Amino acid sequence: MSEQEFEDLSNLNVVAANEFKHALAGNTALLPEWKQITTQLFENGIPQDLDALSKLITEESNAETEAT
Amino acid sequence: MLRLKQLRVKGVRGIVDGPDLFFETGGLLLCGDNGTGKSSYVDAVEKVLAGKCSSLDIGARGVSWRKQGTHVNCQDSEVELTLTDGPQDIILTLGTDPATLDKQTRIFLEAARQQSFILRRRTLLDFIDTEPRKRYQAIESFLNLDEFASFEAKLKDLEKTVEAKLTVACESRDQHERTLREQLGLDKLVSIDDATCLQAVNETLGIARISAMTSLGDITSTLAKLESLLTPYKNMEALQKVQLLVDSIERIPDVADLLKAAQEYTDARRKFVTEEAKLKGHFYVQVLEKGLAWIAEDDLSRCPLCNNPVTLPEVTAYVDMRLAENKKFIQLKQRQSRARSIFEDSWRTWRDSFESVRNQWIDALNSDFPDEAIQIATGLEQLLESHATLLPVSTIERDIGSSLEGRFVEVAKSLGATAKRRRDSFPDSVRYSQLYNAKLQASATSIHFKEITELNRRISYLETCNGQLRVLSDLAEKSRKKAVQKLLDEIVEIADQYIQRIHPSERIGNPKLTIPERGSGSIDLTSHFHSETGDPRGHYSEGHVDSLGLCLFLAIRRIHHTQHPELSLLILDDVLHSVDANHRRETANLIFEEFKDHQVIVTTHDSLWFEYLKLAARNNNQAKFIQRRIASWTLDTGPIWGDHLSNYEWLVSSKSQKAKPADKVIKAGLLLEEMLQNLCNNLWVSVPFRIRGDYTIDPLWTSFYATIRKKNKEFSAKAESCLKEIDDLRNLRNWVGAHWNEWAQTLTNSEAGAFAKAVLELREYAYCEDCRQFVRRIPELDGVWSCKRECKRYSRRQRTV
């Protein structure tokens, strides 16, 4: 195993993120909107926050509250 | 890069006060029997670097560095570890605050705290023997998954948020359902849906003779219709109040009963008063009965109290009469009391009823209580107040006469008639009730069913969110496991390379570390044994399991080092008990070849392996090593060096100049013995065989001296004088040898000095300080004797100038 390979593997955050992105793309149980938002979260590497997903839940709740 | 340079230890475990350890760039090889203090040095290094001692701070009750870290005869322990990066030395002690150190040293210490760099005999099999969860924890520190783990944690948090919203929504929905069921009279088992609600409301509409709804969509228009029909009944609340007033008036007790109770009371009172007037003074029943008994028993003819003449029959008759009078009096008193109580209760009840009517009157009829009724209420109150005590019969008759009856009945009738007239002025209350119920049900359905429908929709959405988040969490967990698995695959690949180096062609190895499907914080371990795969403990010999444990540790150390090269330190503390000689040799080669980039410290109790280690370190590693041997240990002294270096250092020190001759000869003899063992080994000197290699100086010297003169003319020529001196001092050497004896005490300083000088001179020719080794025979160079870098080189034939 080369030093470079070692270094690549030493940051498992990145390895896991890549695996996740791959799994995300191939998953059929996810709704399109959820898949799209989660994929966008990973555009710049490991997501620091999940605001977009959180918004998806909260916005719907707010809309419902208003409707109620 | 930082490395260990020197270790001073005082009062730690088996060490009282030194001796100090020095470390070369390559490291240190330390040999000593069991219990001579090797591990105490390792404990001290670990405590200073990692802040804990893994052999003591093991979590067992009663075992810790604090309790057992200090030597049993010492009050305190001191450790001083010198690190160096070349030009600069850094001294660490047990009390060093990392915050006071430079960045490079802090990083070094942080790495030491996080990584495993020490393997001990007792921890060799930890990774194999432990449960899968602890195996995971053992490598968790270098998984480097914090950011991804944080992402997973946030996903879990979102799941929790959605769960909380779901709980709130479900509770709210259930509350609406309960209220609606109650309003519609639906059983718990009946589901709340359009059909059931429609049917329930339509039934009530049917009772109110209102056309049924075809769907719940009609509910708004139905409510409007009901509102319209209820318009004339707007004052129905007032009707309810009037009805309640009518009911209260009708509940006022009958005046005849009231007067009957009053009459009873008057009669009872009158009779009691009459009877009371008849009584002549106080009456003591017991006195009468007792006096009668005296007269009868003693047959007295005179009264014992007044001394008047008496006869028993007269007295008996009189007493009986008096007792009868008294009995009647008590009965009348009791009757008066009962009658009075009934009278009071009746009148109070009447007054309370009347007061209740008075209170309701204004609210229900919106008019004042009639004056006549007020007079009765006031009068009643006064009457009850004035009759709180027993009054004369005449007063009772005056106050509560039958004349009251007419007034009471008349007023009650008048009140009832007024209230009823008002009640009858309202529309049909039955009809109102039907319409009102229909409106209530329709309204409840309109509000609650809508809420329930909306909440169900929201719950459904939140469940979708939850499902989606669960999918994401599952994907994230699987991805993390895959990433960890990749690293584990690398670890076992390296470990397997190491195993194959030690055990070539033995068809063992190929270990697998696997993250199981279940859970996420554990690692399963399997390995091959010929065609079998499974837990290595099931198939492997003890030696094979030891090898596997060591190779896994070394592979993990290799990965650790790749991630954090700041800590290039490997300490193997007396590992590999069960591995045979050949495999140990391969293990030694593996360690020094694969860990050239580390400072390696190996301790062992096995002299043979010590030799392998020295050879392997020399052959595979360019760096310098220090080799030390501990000869013995006592509780009072701690470890005592027994190698040639320590004897040499003593002989050239100032201590030697002042020492007794016998001590000097003993040290010189020990040094000579060590030198001869090394030289006979290195120069292929044939020595008469001794079981267990228990050689004394005599056979070693005889063989060595003969070989030198025969096989290396250059060496024997150059070292001639010291060789001759040692050989001439044969008796001295043989008698003193390496052991203290009485005869040695008679030696002169001159004799001892000559012997020591000759031994030190021989060392000068035979030992290279730069290569830190004795010369050895080089077969490839026609039997030349030389050190590693040929700093010292001796040809078979004497060179001519």
Q: What is the pLDDT of residues B452-475, one digit of tens each?
A: 999 999 999 999 999 999 999 999
- pLDDT level of residue A67 (50, 70, 90 thresholds): very low
**Of B147, B454, B494, Cβ closest to residue A13:** B147
- What per-residue confidence (pLDDT) applies to B572? 93
- pLDDT level of residue B298 (50, 70, 90 thresholds): confident
Asked if residues B512 and B492 have their Cβ atoms less than 8 Å apart, the reply is: yes
Q: Is B209 left (phi over 0), alpha (psi -120 to 50) or beta?
A: left
Whether residue A12 and residue B484 make contact (CB cut-off 8 A), yes or no, is yes
User: If 0-12 CB within 10 Å is exposed, 13-18 middle and 19+ buried, where does residue A49 land?
Assistant: exposed
- C-alpha distance from residue B125 to each of B242, B486, B528, B574 (Å): 94, 23, 17, 13
* Residue A44 sits at the chain B interface (C-beta within 8 Å): no
**What integer is the mean pLDDT of B755-778?**
90
Asked if residues B697 and B737 have their Cβ atoms less than 8 Å apart, the reply is: yes
pLDDT, tens digit, 9 for 90 and up, residues B57-91: 766 667 888 888 888 888 888 999 999 988 889 99
Which residues in A lie closer than 8 A to residue B468 (C-beta atoms)? 30-31, 34
Q: Which residues of B177-190 are buried (b: 16+ CB within 10 A; e: fewer)?
A: beebbebbebeeee
Whether residue A64 and residue B563 make contact (CB cut-off 8 A), yes or no, is no
Six token digits for residue B91: 């001294």
- What per-residue confidence (pLDDT) applies to B591? 92
Edge-to-edge order in the sheet of strand B524-529: B508-514, B524-529, B532-534
Mean pLDDT of all residues belonging to chain B: 85
**What integer is the mean pLDDT of B298-319?**
76
Cis peptide before B87 (omega within 30 of 0): no
**What integer is the mean pLDDT of B718-722?**
93
C-alpha–C-alpha distance, residues B595 and B620, integer Å: 10
pLDDT, tens digit, 9 for 90 and up, residues B366-420: 889 999 889 888 888 888 888 888 888 888 888 876 556 677 888 888 999 999 8
Nearest to B21 by CA among B2, B1, B48, B45: B45
- What per-residue confidence (pLDDT) applies to B472? 95
* Residue B480 sits at the chain A interface (C-beta within 8 Å): yes
- C-alpha distance from residue B417 to each of B236, B239, B430 (Å): 20, 15, 22
Residues 119-178 in B contacting A (C-alpha not used; CB under 8 Å): 142-148, 150-151, 154-155, 158, 161-162, 165
C-alpha–C-alpha distance, residues A46 and B70, integer Å: 48
How far is Cα of residue B378 from the mean position of the Cα atoms in its chain?
76
Residue B309 DSSP one-character state: B
Whether residue B465 and residue A6 make contact (CB cut-off 8 A), yes or no, is no
Rounded to 5 degrees, what angle do the CA atoms A54, A59, A65 make? 130
Which residues on neighbouring strands pair with residue B3, listed in sequence order? B84
C-alpha–C-alpha distance, residues B590 and B580, integer Å: 15
Asked if residues B524 and B516 have their Cβ atoms less than 8 Å apart, the reply is: yes
Best mutation target among B158, B462, B472, B562 (most A Cβ atoms within 10 Å) is: B472
Residue B715 has pLDDT above 60, yes or no: yes
Residue B37 has pLDDT above 60, yes or no: yes
Highest mean pLDDT: which of A13-17, B394-398, B529-533, B663-667? A13-17
Identity of residue B342: I
All structural domains of chain B, each given as residue ranges with its CATH number in brackets, are 1-115+564-638 (3.40.50.300), 240-424 (no CATH), 643-801 (no CATH)
Which position has the token pair 């809508």?
B450
Residue of chain A with shortest Cα separation from B558: A6
Which residues in B lie closer than 8 A to residue A24 (C-beta atoms)? 475
Which residues in A lie closer than 8 A to residue B147 (C-beta atoms)? 13, 46
- C-alpha distance from residue A24 to each of A47, B263, B282, B463, B517 (Å): 14, 99, 111, 20, 19
Residue B683 has pLDDT above 60, yes or no: yes
C-alpha–C-alpha distance, residues A51 and B210, integer Å: 54
Q: Provide the pairing of β-strand B784-786 with B776-778.
A: antiparallel
- What per-residue confidence (pLDDT) applies to B563? 77
Best mutation target among B454, B456, B475 (most A Cβ atoms within 10 Å) is: B475
Which residues in A lie closer than 8 A to residue B496 (C-beta atoms)? none
**What integer is the mean pLDDT of B355-375?**
90
- Please enumerate in sequence order all residues whose Cβ is within 8 A of that of B108, keeping only pairs 6 or more positions apart, or say none: B2, B49, B83, B566, B567
Nearest to B501 by CA among B577, B587, B582: B587
Residue B503 has pLDDT above 80, yes or no: yes
- What per-residue confidence (pLDDT) applies to A66? 47
- What per-residue confidence (pLDDT) applies to B649? 81
Which residues in B lie closer than 8 A to residue A15 (C-beta atoms)? 482-483, 486-487
Closest-CA distance of chain B to residue A10, Å: 6
**What integer is the mean pLDDT of B173-177?**
94
- Please enumerate in sequence order all residues whose Cβ is within 8 A of that of B307, keeping only pairs 6 or more positions apart, or say none: none
E strand or H helix at B532: strand B532-534
Asked if residues B133 and B69 have their Cβ atoms less than 8 Å apart, the reply is: no
Whether residue B145 and residue A29 make contact (CB cut-off 8 A), yes or no, is no
Which position has the token pair 């501990």?
B630
Which residues on neighbouring strands pair with residue B487, listed in sequence order? none
pLDDT, tens digit, 9 for 90 and up, residues B506-552: 777 788 877 777 666 777 788 877 777 888 777 788 888 888 888 98
* Residue B483 sits at the chain A interface (C-beta within 8 Å): yes
ipTM: 0.88
Note the residue count of chain A.
Answer: 68
- What per-residue confidence (pLDDT) applies to B64? 81
As a dihedral over the C-alpha atoms of residue B152, residue B158, residue B159, residue B164, rounded to 10 degrees, the angle is 150
Residue B286 has pLDDT above 50, yes or no: yes
Neighbouring CB atoms inside 10 A of B20's CB total 12
**What integer is the mean pLDDT of B96-125?**
85
* Residue B457 sits at the chain A interface (C-beta within 8 Å): yes
Best mutation target among A61, A65, A68 (most B Cβ atoms within 10 Å) is: A61
**What integer is the mean pLDDT of B188-206?**
93
Asked if residues B785 and B719 have their Cβ atoms less than 8 Å apart, the reply is: no
Residue B173 has pLDDT above 90, yes or no: yes
C-alpha–C-alpha distance, residues B535 and B523, integer Å: 12
Whether residue B483 and residue A68 make contact (CB cut-off 8 A), yes or no, is no
User: If 0-12 CB within 10 Å is exposed, 13-18 middle and 19+ buried, where does residue B486 land?
Assistant: middle
* Residue B452 sits at the chain A interface (C-beta within 8 Å): no
**What integer is the mean pLDDT of B490-515?**
84
Which position has the token pair 């290195």?
B682
- What per-residue confidence (pLDDT) applies to B535? 80
Specify the long-range contacts of residues B247-250, CB closer than 8 Å, at least 24 apart: B248/B353, B248/B356, B248/B357, B248/B360, B249/B357, B249/B412, B249/B415, B249/B416, B249/B419, B250/B416
Closest-CA distance of chain A to residue B161, Å: 9
Whether residue B487 and residue A13 make contact (CB cut-off 8 A), yes or no, is no
